[in-house]
Amino acid sequence: MVLASAAAAEILDAADYMLLRELMSQAGTTRHAPQSLRLASGTMVDVRVERIAGSSGALFEIFPVEATRRPVPRKQHIAAGVLPAAVERELREYRLSRSRVSISGEPGTGRTTSVRYLAGDEPVALVDAADVPVADEGNWCARLERLLATHPGLVAVESVHLLSPPLAVWLAHALDDSNSWVAVTGAPPADLAAEHAGLMARFVARVELPPLRCRRNEVPALARTMLAACNPGASSRFAPQALRLLESQLWPGNLRELEAVVRAAAQARSAGDIVSGDLPAAYREHAISHRLSAWEQAEHDAIIKALRAFGGNKVHAAEHLGISRSTLYNRMRSLGITGP
């Protein structure tokens, strides 16, 4: 599953990825008219899906329907204990010094979880850039200014890459004029526009969260941790075959998607071994036939980035990568590209 833009990934919840997988299984190789869909958040979107010929993947284009937009409920906080150990060490050091921190990563990699870990026992005030269209820009700015002036703990501005360029510049100046303890979260540095990159560059302390596809060897341990968190005291456990299936997935929704799958499996079997048949249907087959090497992973990520940059246009993506369109299709098939 390839999402044509990073902004599309921002509005998706873990449950939405499972729904998109179902749509992918029903799609043909020709582009069809968009379908209207209500996401788990309540947001209405138009979705166009096109299967990638010769592969098990598909390209999705998602268009929010602005007229139906309404406040988006907060996504569930990802379970504790799932951040990389090196990230936790960095955040503990920054907590002790009350350093201002920028936290970057793909949606679902644990940006909000990192903010809460950074704060420790201190109170946290979250201000989300995704709320600007709903809350009104003036009200959003006024609330942030009040928090910067009065909040005793950590003020976190989330998803700053969603801010308009003028608002990103305003935020940079507002932070320059404040002595508050602040963290910002946003997309990976390579995906940032100039104004957002300039904003993030003001933070000397920086944490970059890896996507789950780059932590595939950790997936079994992460799944066990999440199972214990969502089903405390239960005697259920993952069978080795189920863990191998989970490890083979590319996880476009990252930790949040994995947690949704773990919760679904825990509901299917509350005691004993969770086997492959207890996983949601879309996760019962291996997504890749072998583990990607470091070179293959870099190639995989470069193709995904190019597809995003050109809105899913494979001709332009191939030109940008310096390869033919047929070579792009072959590499997508070989690399098992089924995630952003």
Strands in 101-104's sheet, in edge-to-edge order, are 124-128, 154-158, 181-186, 101-104, 205-208
Taking alpha carbons only, the member of 288, 241, 248, 283 closest to residue 262 is: 283
Locate 106 and state its tokens: 């793909």
Transcribe 257-272 into DSSP letters: HHHHHHHHHHHH-SSS
* Domains in the chain: ranges and CATH: 2-73+290-335 (no CATH), 85-208 (3.40.50.300), 212-283 (1.10.8.60)
CA 139 centroid distance within chain: 27
- pLDDT band (50, 70, 90) for residue 74: very low
The tens digit of pLDDT for each residue in 222-267 reads 999 999 988 787 789 999 999 999 998 888 889 999 999 999 999 9
Cα–Cα distance, 87 to 79 (Å, whole number) = 15
**pLDDT value at residue 5:** 55
Q: How many helices (H) and strands (E) in the chain?
A: 14, 11
Residue appearing with tokens 């957002």: 196
How distant is the alpha carbon of residue 62 from its chain centre? 15
Q: Which tens digit of pLDDT belongs to each residue from 156-190?
A: 999 999 999 999 999 999 999 999 999 999 999 88
Give yes or no for a contact between 314 and 328, defined as CB atoms under 8 angstroms apart: yes
**pLDDT at res. 164:** 93
pTM (two decimals): 0.69
- Percentage of the chain beyond pLDDT 90 is 47
